[in-house]
Amino acid sequence: MYLAKFVMMKIDFRTKDEANEEQLEDFLSLAPVERFYSFLNLMRQLNKFPSKKETVNNDTFCIELKSHSS
C-alpha cells in the first residue's frame, strides 16, 4: 500500500528585519536547554555547507623520538 505524503509550504513576503525579528522571537521562546541544543544542531548543519577553506594534508607530519645516551 502506497501512502502519499503531502508537505505544505508557506511563503511569506517580508523584509529582512521582519524575518530576523521573527527568528529571534522564536529562538527566545525556547527553554534555555532547547536553545543550547538548537545551537548545537545549527553548528552541525553548518559543517555541511561548502567552504573556501583549504584542507591541509598532514600526511608528511612525523615525530621522531631519539634517545640521547650519555
Residue 37 placed within a domain: yes
What is the average pLDDT value for the chain, to the nearest integer? 83
Instruction: Give the pLDDT score at 17.
Output: 96
Residue 58 placed within a domain: no
SS (H, E, C) the chain: CCCCCCCCCCCCCCCHHHHHHHHHHHHHCCCHHHHHHHHHHHHHHHCCCCCCCCCCCCCCCCCCCCCCCC
Question: Above 60 in pLDDT, residue 35?
Answer: yes
Residue 25 placed within a domain: yes
Residue 31 placed within a domain: yes
Cα 28 to the center of its chain, rounded Å: 19
Return d(Cα 57, Cα 15) in angstroms, integer. Answer: 44
What is the per-residue pLDDT across 36-66, written as a single tens digit (0 to 9) for each? 999 899 889 988 888 777 766 767 777 777 8
Residue 4 placed within a domain: no
Residue 65 placed within a domain: no
Residue 35 placed within a domain: yes
Residue 42 placed within a domain: yes
Q: What is the tally of structural domains in the chain?
A: 1
Domain range for 40 is 18-46
